[in-house]
Amino acid sequence: MNTQEGVNLLENKRIAIVGGGPGGLTLARLLQLKGADVTVYERDYSPSTRVQGATLDLHYESGLKALDNAGLLDAFKHAYRPGADKGRVVDTQANILYDDHGKDECNDFDNESFRPEIDRGDLRSLLLASLQADTVVWDSQLVQISPRLDAWQLTFKNGTTVVADLVVGADGAHSKVRPLLTSIQPFYAGTTIVQGNIADAATAAPTIHQLLQGGKLYTHTTGKFLHVSAKGDGSIDFYVSCRVDEDWLQTNGIDFADQQQLRAWLKQEFSGWAPVWFELFESVSLPLLIRPQYCVPFDQSWASQPSITLLGDAAHLMPPSGEGVNLAMLDALELSECLTSEQFATTQLALAAYEKPMLERGTEEAKVSMEGVEWMHTESANDKLVALFNE
């Protein structure tokens, strides 16, 4: 262990971060800068196993702040996509109600309202490149975690077992670490997302590709909304958020890997929408991802422990609001600062100091997210969104 100033609590400690998303990787980077012994255990078989989803907008006071403290802001400036933050609000007939593209482009990283976009995969690559060799152990899906003397034993699906002195659960919505801290379960938020990706969109969905102009599309109507994003690799990522029961997938009998069944569902679900949207659906790669949305109770809390904690969705899950990745990266920054501070006599005190504001912040954002769920699935949502953009 490199005994640099400010890492006394972590001296000779083996730190296991479960989950290699932006929050977990940011934490690993920040702790390694302080000389800590960190390993990230990620369930993906390799960095290229999965399509990494839509673009992410990072915020001045959270995601960008974390990258700056990690010494990665310059790398981010080379990797982000100028103009990808520009959006269009359109109606179901593809009429443009609001357009960002006519506005002057802001690329000022000192402007607190600037929210630059980066593809999720590019952000992951940037963070991975900043870590020491072999920091991330791939193909490591956690199946069990149990106390072992003053440490934790982690068992993975691939059959390996490791022991760590400090465990951070950055393992998302279905966290295996969370039950070690609390029995509180997230509740169903009332919506389910159907998500898809279209490769080579300029060829496969040229009209949608042109309508996007390298940015985003937002379309809302009663009971559902559609969000479409252009990606730097030429693909399109989209999701439809639907107001449905929690057991909708089990009861509707639709196989979303079957093109014929998918077309029948889309024809019914998007009856009356302009034909341009069906270009999007006809070209999508199968199977679609079905993601029921959950949210943490607003009164959640737990007693801090000496050697285990959570960050990101594992701690404060909520429906998409634009804050998820930013909260996770801010969690990582504040957790690293608490663990490497000299003001705490024990790791339990450091974790308690981290968890209190983290939980409060997560609760406030969860409330905002659930308010969004309510208004974004109404007939007047487009009007409200246009008004928000015009503020």
Residue stretches of the annotated binding site for FAD: 57, 120, 313
What is the Cα gyration radius of the chain? 21
Instruction: Copy the structure tokens of residue 25.
Output: 């990787």
Pairing assessment for the beta strands 37-41 and 136-137 based on DSSP bridges: parallel
91-113 burial: b if 16+ Cβ within 10 Å, else e: ebebeeebebeeeeeeeeeeeee
CB 219 within 8 A of CB 205: no
Q: Where are the beta strands (DSSP E) in the chain?
A: 14-18, 37-41, 55-57, 87-90, 96-99, 117-119, 136-137, 142-148, 151-156, 161-164, 166-169, 187-198, 216-221, 224-230, 236-243, 289-295, 308-310
Q: At 285, is the secondary structure helix, strand, or coil?
A: coil
Annotated binding site for NADPH, which residues?
50
Handedness of CA 178, 180, 181, 182 (dihedral sign): positive
Separation of alpha carbons 166 and 172, rounded Å: 18
Q: How far apart are CA 30 and CA 338, in angstroms?
A: 12
Of 266, 270, 244, 242, whose CA–CA distance to 254 is shortest? Answer: 266
Helix (H, G, I), strand (E, B) or coil at 41: strand
DSSP state of 234: S
Look at residue 140 and give its three-state secondary structure: coil
* CA 352 distance to own-chain centroid: 24
Strand order in the sheet with 289-295: 96-99, 87-90, 216-221, 224-230, 236-243, 187-198, 289-295
Q: How far is CA 268 from the centre of its chain?
A: 30
Binding-site residue numbers are: 50, 57, 120, 313
| Buried-exposed string 162-191: b where 16+ CB fall within 10 A, e elsewhere | bebbbbbbbbbeebbbbebbeeeebeebbb
Amino acid letter, residue 391: E
